[in-house]
Structure 1
Amino acid sequence: MQKSNKKLDPDEMLFTLDQLEQTTEIMSKVVSRLKRQLMQLQQAESDREVLSKPVSEAPTPAKQRRTLH
């Protein structure tokens, strides 16, 4: 990437920052929706496993979620 000697226009910078903010908001919503769908799939799979096991077997506890920092 080449650096230009062009002076940055504050209005252009604000516009670009607004676009970035909108993009990150949309990406955050998409990630949240994907996480929700994955949790629903995991729950459905867990429910199927519980229903398919004999009554004498106890259901296994769900895996703990990892938190990234």
Structure 2
Amino acid sequence: MSDSIHIVALTEAGHQLAENLVGKISRASIWYKPKPFAEKVQQAFLRGERFIFICATGIVVRT
């Protein structure tokens, strides 16, 4: 498992929340509208990296 934590945001409001969170969580980085979304998330997941998603749950489940 990796120590990386990615805060994934898909909207401007989500990005603002991610900016607030990244200062409070060590080893966190922001992925704002990552592209290609599914590929990037899947590859990081397979490497054991952790996520906080700021978006609809259905988007995450389908990915």
Higher strand share: 2
More relative contact order, 1 or 2 (CA 8 Å, 6+ apart): 2
The higher radius of gyration belongs to 1
Same fold flag (TM > 0.5): no
Return the TM-score normalized by structure 2. Answer: 0.26
Higher helix share: 1
Return the TM-score normalized by structure 1. Answer: 0.24
